[in-house]
Structure formats: C-alpha cells, structure tokens
A and B are shown apart, each in its own frame.
Chain A
Amino acid sequence: MAVGKSPVRGWRSRLFAAGTCLFLGVFVGAALLLIAGDMLYVDKKAVMTVLTSGFIRRALWMSVWTSFTTTALALLFAIPMGYALSRYRFPGHLLADTIVDLPIVFPPLVAGLTLLVFFHQTTLGRWLGKVGLEFAFQPKGIVLCQFVVSASFAIRTVKSAFDDVDRRLENVALTLGYTQWGSFFRVSLPLVRGGIIAGGALTLARAFGTFAPLLIFVGSFRGRTEVLPTTIFLEQSVGNLEVALAVALLLIGVATVCLVIMRLVGGRPLVQQ
C-alpha cells in the first residue's frame, strides 16, 4: 500500500490507511459500476454497429486528432504562460491570473455562445472569417472550442509546477554560465515535466469529452463536425440508446488508453535517489 520505504505500522496507522483507501475504493467502485451498467445494457448488434459504421469511425478519428491538437496547443501556451504567472509580478497580474481560471468556472455552453457571437456579430470576428480564419461550423472550430474550455487546466497545472521549482536552482544555472533561456530549458522545464504531463492529461480528458460548446459553435453535422460526444447525442436523439451507450464506452476506452499512455510515457520519476 505504501510507496517506497514504509514505517512500522500499528493498528491506528492501518485504520487511517484503510479510511483513506475506503473513499478511494467507493469512488473508483462507483465509476466502474456505472460503466458496467452501460456494458450490460449494450447488445451485440449495437457493438457491431459501432465497429462497422463509417460515420462513427470518422467521429472517433475526429475526436482523437482534435483532442491531441488541442492538448499540444494548450501546452504550447501553458508553458510560457505558467512560467510568466509564476515568476513575474507585473501590473494586472491578479487580473490575468483570474482570467486564466474563467473558462474553468463558466459553463462550457457559454464558451460556444461566446465564440459564435464573436465570429458572427463582431467586426473583428467577421474580418477574421473573410481572411480565411473561419471557425464556425468547421472542423478547426472543434479545436478552438476544445482549446477555450480546456487550456486553463493546463495553464493552472503548469503554473503550480513552476511555483514548486526552487528559484535558487535557476539562479545557480545563471551563475554557471547559462542565459535565462538556458536556465529555463536546462533546469526549470525538466523539473516541471510532471506538471506538464498532468496538465496535458487534464486538457486531453476535457477536450475529449467536450460537447455543449461544439453543438452551438460547430453544429452536429454527420461526418463533418462530428466527434464522439456528438455521435452519442445524435444516436440517443433518434432513440438508438444501445448504440449511443456503445459509442460512450468506446469514448471511455479510448480516453482511458490515451491517459494511461501519457502517464506511462511521461510520468517516469525524473528525480532519483
């Protein structure tokens, strides 16, 4: 149960450990129970539909590439932003820090509405559309929607990771001949690898499950702007509950595999004894 070296445990310690693990067990057990319920409901025909449908295959591919693109973009922003928020104090720091959290607290539906209004009702949005940056009802709009609702998770997590890096390590790197860039890439960045992986995993999970803003901003066009959550919506709206649940299980499975791979590939301990 314990990680690494463990102290001598009496009955009080065992009771404490059992108490904490009880909550973990209840949570994980409930989640597995719900998934098992879905599995029992799904019949063979629904599974075959999911495995053979071209639309669902395309939706799966759309979900995968848009989610990974969103995660990469989110980390591209999260790393410099997290560093800036962690290391520099400037006028408007508090405001910037708060705005980063906004997409976490407002309903995802609002993100879709806001994007739709921006690209259709504002001069700048319409101009962007005219110069080729049209996102509404386009596959690239899926990435934009996912980015808006999920990037904050990456930024917040990476910022916390930078907060935990001792500044003296960066200072020593500076005195040893590295510039600020060298210190960042050789010291700070390797030390926040765990935070980057965690932020990436959260972003991927959120992006994979994004639905409400997509419905508003890119619509639910079969085979064009369809991701797996859209498929679930479309199937259940026409009464194919078994197929909808089978797609949901596919979504859960793919997301779980992606998250496990991310953790296995990037989660090896960097600091050794």
Chain B
Amino acid sequence: MIRAEAIKFTVGDFCLGEVSLELARGEYFVLLGAPGSGKSLFLECLCGLNRIDSGRIVIAGRDVTNLEPCERGIGYVPQDYALFPHLSVAQNIGFGLRARRLSSAKISQKVGTAVDQLGIRHLLDRWPLGLSGGEKQRVALARALVVDPEILLLDEPVSALDEALRAEVCLELKRVQRETGTTTIHVCHNFEETRIVADRVGLLRAGRLVQVGTPGELFDRPADAEAARFLRVGNVLSGEAERCGKPLCGGDR
C-alpha cells in the first residue's frame, strides 16, 4: 500500500534515514520514538512537505516521490490539529472536498457521513477556537478522512489530550480506522497508546528505524539494550550469550 524505500532527509545536523518501510492495505502502523527522533520529519517526508535527499515513496502503486503534497492522496493530521481558525467546523471538514470541486450537495453529504461516523454533528456550526482538545481532534480527523485518502498520517494525534481521554480517543481512532479500512501511520511516544491501536510498530531512534514488529514482539523482545530501556522493559541485565562455549554476538543481550 505504501512503500518507503531508503528515505534519507537531512536538516541541519540531524539526518533521517535511511528509512525503509512497507505497509499493507488497511494496516495500522505506529511509529514510536523519543521526542527528537525524527518521527514528525518522516511523516512530513511522506506528505511531501519535505523534499527527501534520496530514496523513493510509493503509495498505492504510484511513485509519489516527486509529486506535490496535493497529488499524493494522503490525509494528514498534524500535532495540535491545525484547524483553520477562520472557517467553521463544517467548512473545515469540507475544505478538502472543495479542492476536488465537488457540488455543494455532495460536499454536504460527505461531511454529514464523516461527522456521523465521529459523533460530532452537534459541532458543525461551531468555530475551532471554542472547541475542546478532544473535539478539535475529531474535527481534524474528519477533515482528513472525508477526502478518502489512500493513507492517513497522524502526528501525535492524542498528545494534546489529557490522560483520561487518551485511551478513549485511541479506541475510537482504532474503530474508525477499522470501519474505513484506511491504511494509517500514527506517530507517538506513548506505549499505552501504541498497545491500543497498533497492528505493527516501528521504533525510530536518532533518525533510524531500529526495529519493526507487532507490539508484542517489540515489548517482549526489544532489538537492543537501548530499545529495552526506552520501552521501559524491566530487568535489563548485561551479559554475554553463548552456545556451546562460543559467544553469539556479545554485548548486552
């Protein structure tokens, strides 16, 4: 569905990559990493908001590496949601549909479907500045989903919400993703969030993808000691593994 091949992007002293990743259609992938590990940069590269130095991005069989963001068929929810403050909730959600020159009736119908799916019909006439964090998140999600994107990119979508609301919203994200079947990449640094939504998880560290697997694989068998410490796996003990008296690979294993 989406294939990132050896993506490399440099900004200042920071170098992302080379990162390679392949997602199946309908998969919910979580990109986990500490703040500053390059997660948001990676999403921006997929969106086309950053021109990559090298590598290739293929979405739904189309090489989109050199295409503008508007031509990539993506839905993007940035941190803090970036709702347009000069537009009402209804206009925010229908914003992408206007770019596709749909009729007003079609826009109303699609916006109606999206708001019903996310339970925010009562917000349609409200304005972004008056919404709570959870409401903003749902509106931003509706705005991204209403254009039927090939892939949905969520940049820390629940980090602005309070602890009590996060799990609830994550469950809702997962439900909506299952209903729509949209391939999703969700960036975060929260393990609870990861366990709730992820089909697979990638661990990004200092711009490099160090491990990819199911949440179980990642939390049960971290790639190395540093990954184990980041994932807060208890009982990290130093030692050497050996078989028949011969060291396997040494180091912390």
Contact = CB atoms under 8 A, between A and B. Distances in A.
B219 interface: no
B21 interface: no
B70 A171 contact: no
Given A174-B49, A174-B68, A270-B86, 18 more contacts: A166-B82, A169-B82, A171-B44, A171-B76, A172-B84, A172-B143, A173-B95, A174-B47, A174-B48, A175-B76, A176-B70, A176-B144, A177-B70, A177-B96, A177-B99, A177-B100, A179-B68, A272-B129
Interface in B100-158: 100, 127, 129-130, 143-144, 147
B70 A273 contact: no
A9 interface: no
Contacts of B85: 191, 271
A271 B129 contact: yes
Contacts, number: 72
Chain A interface, DSSP helix/strand/loop, else mixed: helix
Interface residue range, chain B: 20 to 34
A24 B69 CA distance: 49
B75 A175 contact: yes
Given A174-B68, A271-B127, A182 B84 contact: no
B84 A175 contact: no
Given A273-B129, A273-B130, A174 B70 contact: yes
Nearest to B127: A272
Contact of B86 (A168, A178, A182, A190): A190
B78 interface: yes
A4 B213 CA distance: 52
A265 to B, nearest CB: 17
B188 to A, nearest CB: 18
A178 B84 CA distance: 14
Nearest to B79: A168
Given A171-B47, A171-B69, A271-B127, A176 B143 contact: yes
Nearest to A273: B130
Contacts of A272: 127, 129-130
Nearest to A178: B99
Top 6 closest pairs, chain A to chain B, by CB:
A176-B96, A177-B99, A174-B69, A175-B76, A273-B130, A168-B82
A135 B100 CA distance: 47
A34 to B, nearest CB: 40
Contacts of B49: 171, 174-175
B74 interface: yes
Interface residue range, chain A: 20 to 34
Contacts of B127: 271-273
A187 interface: yes
Interface in A9-39: none
A190 B86 CA distance: 7
Contacts of B80: 168
A172 B95 CA distance: 10
A266 to B, nearest CB: 14
A207 to B, nearest CB: 29
B50 to A, nearest CB: 10
24 contacts: A166-B82, A168-B78, A168-B80, A171-B44, A171-B69, A171-B76, A171-B78, A172-B84, A173-B84, A174-B47, A174-B48, A174-B68, A175-B47, A176-B76, A176-B144, A176-B147, A177-B70, A178-B70, A182-B70, A186-B95, A271-B127, A272-B129, A273-B127, A273-B129
Q: Which of A166, A187, A270, A272 has the most CB of B within 10 A?
A: A272
